[in-house]
Structure 1
Amino acid sequence: MNRPPTPDAYFDGMYRDAEDPWRLAERWYERRKYDLTVAALPLPRYRRAFEPGCSVGELTRRLAARCDTVLACDRVESAVETTRRRTDGLPGVTVRRLRIPEEWPEGTFDLIVLSELLYYLDDSALDTLLDRTVAALEPGGTLVTVHWDHPVDEHLTTGTGIARRLDGRPGLDLLVDHREEDFVLQVHRRPGPDGRRAPGVAAREGLV
């Protein structure tokens, strides 16, 4: 039976007790995972990135170094304020309070990053979010997903479960499938305008 989504009260309570409740800025596990996430991006530079569920902005800061503009958002106002403060002075970063997937930004993106977000959504909301993600991803654009792979009471699935939901989804080609004991990191790309799969990193560099 499909479980309901994680309630807003859970997130409000977490941030009420601590500015960075998951200690994202200090744990080596988190810092290494963020660095791996950015390292997995197949392009050296992106024009417009979207990062829903940005929390306190640690991944946002890393994305800003690879993107002309980054739109980051979170449903919790205190997390939005923390991210704004931590990204203050970084060119091209905009932080908004949005409830995803009910609220969705206008325009398209050549990079969308879904980090530690999808396991909070029930089946209906997850399908809506993925549909909107694919629709907002430009031809040739990159989708990154990375999620904790252990059971948690507040999580409706795991990183492995999310990978299964993405497997074979129309409009996405799998480029990277990195799995560790603790998390699953995947990179998908939307096919080009002609429907063909875009060349890999080595092919673009003329190595193959």
Structure 2
Amino acid sequence: MSRLPDEYFDAMYRDARDPWSFEERWYEQRKRALTLAALPYPRFATAFEPGCSIGVLTADLLTRCDRVVATDIAQAALDSAAQRLGPAVTDGRVDLLPRSLDEPWPDETFDLIVLSEVGYYLDAAALEHAAAQAAEHLAPGGVVLAVHWRHSVEDYPLTGDAVHEILANRPDWVCTGRYRDRDVIVETFERPPALSVAERGGLTERPGRPSPDRVRRS
């Protein structure tokens, strides 16, 4: 098992506080909106976000989660995240931990696990191991949300599509939602049986069949 080395990320943050321009690029802003829109529940108790970088998505997750445990391999990134999320860190709504995705995960279970732009830093074997950890740490009824750039990057061991293929082939869950365009893929995974948002809300009698008393008529 292998991954990109710590020095790769340390160098990125030496050159720029926000090396991927999370704050400024429209791609990143749009991707975060798609990420939040893909969540199949309005709120979650506890989320785990490995590879949190400077905490931009972490701040958005706090609008939907009571608590977020966020990790990153680069201390400079965690320092920036701590500045951004100061009050939430102080009151315990965010825990920031120095850790890589392929290291042992925090000793708790999570209602939401967010793998956003991190899977392709690992090779296939390391990603399989991380996916197994996700299954182990996913609470009953929990959701794994994966979001990745689809274009090939020479430095990365995997492409975004390869990451999602590995996740989709896990026996622990099924894909319950997907958005894909030329740039990004967003997928949710849940343990079976997994109901859709409409099914959980009582809007259908069975999958794909609107309940007659809930059909709006003009």
TM bucket by the smaller chain? over 0.9
Between 47-56 and 119-128, the greater mean CA deviation after superposition: 119-128
Q: 1:100 to 1:168 in 2, by over 3 A?
A: closer
Provide the rounded CA distance (Å) in 2 between the counterparts of 1:84 and 1:205.
37
Between 4-13 and 171-180, the greater mean CA deviation after superposition: 4-13
Is residue 50 of structure 2 the alignment partner of residue 49 of structure 1? Answer: no
* Cα-Cα RMSD: 1.3
Check conservation: 1:178, 1:186, Cα contact below 8 A: yes
Check conservation: 1:71, 1:95, Cα contact below 8 A: yes
Give a deviation string over 1:63-86, Cα, whole Å, max 9, x none: 001001100110100100111111
Residue 166 of structure 2 corresponds to which residue in structure 1?
165
Q: 1:95 to 1:16 in 2, by over 3 A?
A: same
Check conservation: 1:112, 1:144, Cα contact below 8 A: yes
For 2:128, the aligned partner's letter is D
Gaps of 5+ in 2: 205-218
Q: How does 1:3-42 map to 2 (within 5 A)?
A: 4-42=2-40
Following superposition, the deviation at residue 190 of structure 1 comes to: 2.3
SS at match of 1:89: helix
Check conservation: 1:137, 1:190, Cα contact below 8 A: no
Residue 108 of structure 2 corresponds to which residue in structure 1?
107
Could you list the structure 1 runs, at least 4 aligned residues long, displaced by more than 3 angstroms after superposition. none
Residue 195 of structure 2 corresponds to which residue in structure 1?
199
Provide the rounded CA distance (Å) in 1 between the counterparts of 2:101 and 2:160.
19
Q: How does 1:119-138 map to 2 (within 5 A)?
A: 119-138=120-139
Provide the rounded CA distance (Å) in 2 between the counterparts of 1:68 and 1:123.
32
Check conservation: 1:145, 1:186, Cα contact below 8 A: yes
Is residue 151 of structure 2 the alignment partner of residue 155 of structure 1? Answer: no
Give a deviation string over 1:34-74, Cα, whole Å, max 9, x none: 11101100000101100000011111001001001100110
Between 179-188 and 91-100, the greater mean CA deviation after superposition: 91-100
Provide the rounded CA distance (Å) in 1 between the counterparts of 2:177 and 2:143.
11
SS at match of 1:19: coil
Aligned length: 201
Check conservation: 1:138, 1:190, Cα contact below 8 A: no
Provide the rounded CA distance (Å) in 1 between the counterparts of 2:70 and 2:7.
21
SS at match of 1:166: helix
Check conservation: 2:168, 2:174, Cα contact below 8 A: no
SS at match of 1:65: coil
TM-score calculated relative to the size of structure 2: 0.88
